[in-house]
Amino acid sequence: MYFSLRILGWGSLIAASSAVPTALHDFDARAPEATSTPIPPSLDPFYTAPRGFKNAAPGAVLNIRAAPGNLTTIFNASSEAYNILYRTTDSHYQPAWAVTTLFVPLKPPHNASNALLSYQVPYNTVDVDASPSFLAYAGAEALGLQFSDINTALNHGWFVNVPDFEGPLASFGASVSEGHATLDSVRAALSSHKSLDSSSRYAMWGYSGGSVASEFAAELQVQYAPELNFAGMAIGGLVPNFTSNFDKINNTPAAGLLVAILLGVSTQYPDTSHYLDSRLKTRGQYNATGFFEARNLSAFELFPTYADQDIFADYFAAGTTVQAPAIQKAIDREGLMGYHGVPQMPIFLYKATQDGYSAVADTDALVDRLCLGGANILYQRNTVGYHLDESYNGDARALNWLTLVLQGNYSAAYPTVGCTVQNVTVNITVTEPFGIP
């Protein structure tokens, strides 16, 4: 058999989803046996779109396999893990594809309803081989807090969906594409297991780069995936304005994220890519070779490589700025929240007021804008700690909120309309302004 009896048979899977082709011959799909050893995505033939995939609907499952190797040993609260290749849509609304990993809980759910948590890992890289579906094999060493979050969710009896939302081009910062890939991963997950369907409760959770993909998914959902009905979304360490973010992180230990965003966005915008190529220095200590090295670096490696550098002044010809039309046009579309739609699900948003990556004022402004549009948000501003700290300081609060949401008890604990803004003081850990997220 290609996969467990608990997974729908391939023909049944095709018939079970309203968002997939009606006939298997609409695309050439095969479900291979899992390999004994995980292979980097750039070398793994599974990470290849089947012929005719563009004819499939967004969210359609194109291929599926049991995850290679020992993933259920690493995530020991899961009984099974699957890689799902699915159809999605890029930033220009053209057909694309991505891969997600679906973890099946070892424990039964805490209530009668099977629930799905879509967990967006902040992998913050333009190296496709640092995507979560492969990074997961390094467990806690690579994922840190995200590793324990996934296992904790599984221990609640929740299915956990972990998408490679940057897609095969590692389009970090291309938030429209990331939002589409997140929504379509949920569509694919819901149609891939017999214990999940459209009546299941499902929610999103993401911090930092994972919150960007989640928030854009929430904004885009109403027009891109109107059939989805999320129970809620928890997001922390939000980055609502990339232009403002660039000013915050340039010349800091986090300057490498600016390099990665420019390269990631340019994978979706050829004009941006051509402009950057034409302006990069070819000689000197900081040149095009050093800039493009980011394509081979994980988020953890970006930090020491570009620490405290002035990215535009060091790597580009004089006069190159983010305000250049070829850059600004892409950043305005991909890096500015609040302009793609009003999220329809309840939101828990947590943010450190001293966040060094993104000014709290940008998040305040986004909350004001979304609330004027009718959003339902609980926004907690933590007066203690920095960006990395809030991922820990807010973690239990987010998990408790998601538990209420996925158990169907949200309305008994929180207002279901309007917004609530709270200043809180939660001091579990305090490190430094530019810790690695």
Q: In the annotation, is 200 catalytic?
A: no
The structure tokens listed for 86 are 């699915």
Is there a contact between 67 and 9 (Cβ–Cβ < 8 Å)? no
430 closest CA partner among 396, 397, 398, 382: 382
Angle between helices 325-334 and 242-249 (to 10 degrees): 110
CA Rg value for the chain: 21
Question: DSSP states of 237-271 as a string?
Answer: S---BHHHHHHHHTTSTTTHHHHHHHHHHHTT-HH
Round to whole Å and give the CA distance between 363 and 347.
Answer: 13
Give the single-character DSSP code of 323. Answer: T
Q: Measured between alpha carbons, how far is residue 110 from residues 2, 105, 157, 158 in Å?
A: 30, 11, 6, 9
Round to whole Å and give the CA distance between 56 and 62.
Answer: 8
Q: In the annotation, is 355 catalytic?
A: yes
Q: Measured between alpha carbons, how far is residue 70 from residues 1, 8, 161 in Å?
A: 18, 22, 18
Round to whole Å and give the CA distance between 305 and 22.
Answer: 49
Which of 387, 389, 391, 395 is the catalytic position? 387
Cα end-to-end span (Å), the chain: 40
Which of 127, 355, 362, 395 is the catalytic position? 355
Number of Cβ within a 10 Å radius of residue 404: 18
Q: In the annotation, is 387 catalytic?
A: yes
Collapsing DSSP states into helix, strand and coil, what is residue 13?
A: helix
Q: Which residues are catalytic?
A: 208, 355, 387
